[in-house]
Structures are given as structure tokens and as C-alpha cells.
Amino acid sequence: MNLKIAICDDDASQRTNLYDMLTLWARRNRHLIEAKQYADARQFLFDYHEEKDFDILLLDVEMPQISGIEAAKKVRLESAAVQIIFITGFYEYFSDGFDVSALHYLIKPVHAAKLYPVLDKAVGNLSYRQRSVWIATADEDIKVPLADICYLEAENVYVHVHTVGGVYRTRISLAKFSEQLDDTFFKVHRSYVVGLKYVKKISRKEVTLINGDTVPVRRGMYDAVHAALIRYL
């Protein structure tokens, strides 16, 4: 698999250590990688906003000016597929990773025995998330990764596809569009299908997504939605 990986750490020795382990892991698993090193998050974000083609991020949590957590939040505004792995010396930061759907935290000093299984999982996630759907809008056909779809909203003969990058309107029934989805999505209402990975909380009446949007839950569906979330986790 071809992979583009960012190593962002203000400690040069840490960057070198991670780079060496990545190179060995890629060779053993027959992956072709481009691993770029950054001394601070500003350098990384400049490249990311220009290219937006990184697959895996190894981010030091504590860096001057812009932390790894802050950098990850900026990335998540544009991509849900990129795999984020935090590197930290402190357990106290673990809860911050939930806001950006971090894949894992690794405690310094990082050892290959801990890093390699996480990288393997990242590759597995990327392979799965490469599945996409074509959305036919009034102006063009757009290819959108399933992983970037937050929820679907039906309106008469149209479906509004809410993604991390924007909203697309397509002339199709909700049932027909849903045939392209997988079990990471769940129909919570006759007019709404949600991506389970984007659900922040649920109540008897509505689902709140991580971007702050809310969608209604059909009466009597709470237990089924809750069970679907448990299975997804």
C-alpha cells in the first residue's frame, strides 16, 4: 500500500527514532511510504492545507505554539479518514483524543512493539475507508468517501448528503442512496440516516452529532439506535 505519513515532533531524536521504525515496518510489510518530518505543527499544517493527502499522522501532543491536539482538530475539519496517532509523555491527555477520533495514544519513549500494531490497524482502517460513493448534483458528479459522510437528510425527491467538507443535494430516494452504505450507518428516522462514528450523544428524541447538528429519532427507535452504537464501538 502507498502511504503518506507525517511525523510531527519538536524533539529531533524522537522524529529520527519514529522515522527509522516506520521505514523498517514499511519494508517488512511491503508498503511504499513517504514519511515527512516536521519540527512543529505550523510547518505540518502549512503542508497539509496545500496537499491534503496524508494518510497517517504521528503527532506529538506537547509542542510550542500549536499543540498536536490543536493541529488534529484543524485536520479533522477537512478529513475524517486520516489516521491520527498521538505521541505523548503524559496519560492525562488521553481524553482529548475523543474529540478528533484519534486512533491511539503512544507513550514516550515509543517502541516498535507498541507502534507496529497501531500502524497495522491504521492501514486496515484506510483500506476500509477508501470505499466511496458517487453523488450526482445539479452541476457535477462528486466522489465522496463513505467515511466523510456525517448523515443523510431526505427532502421530497432529494437527499441532502452532509459531509465533513460540505452538503451535497442529489435527486434520489433515501432508500436508494442507502443501498450504497454499510453497517456504520443507521436509519434513525424515516427521513434521516446517521453515520455512527459522528454521533456524540443520543436521547429519546434526537441524535446530536459531533459537529453540533441534531437529527430527530423516530418514536420507539431509541433502543435500536443505542444498540447500533454499542455494536459500532
Q: What confidence tens digit (pLDDT) does each residue in 113-144 have?
A: 999 999 999 998 887 666 788 999 998 998 88
DSSP SS3 for 132: strand
**CATH for 133-232, options being 2.40.50.1020, 3.90.330.10, 3.40.50.300, 3.30.420.40:** 2.40.50.1020
Instruction: Give domain limits for the chain.
Output: 2-129, 133-232
The model's pTM is 0.60
Question: Residue 98: pLDDT above 70?
Answer: no
Q: E strands along the chain, which residues? A: 2-8, 32-38, 56-60, 83-88, 104-107, 132-136, 141-145, 149-155, 158-163, 166-171, 185-189, 192-195, 199-202, 206-209, 214-216
Architecture field, domain 2-129: 3-Layer(aba) Sandwich (3.40)
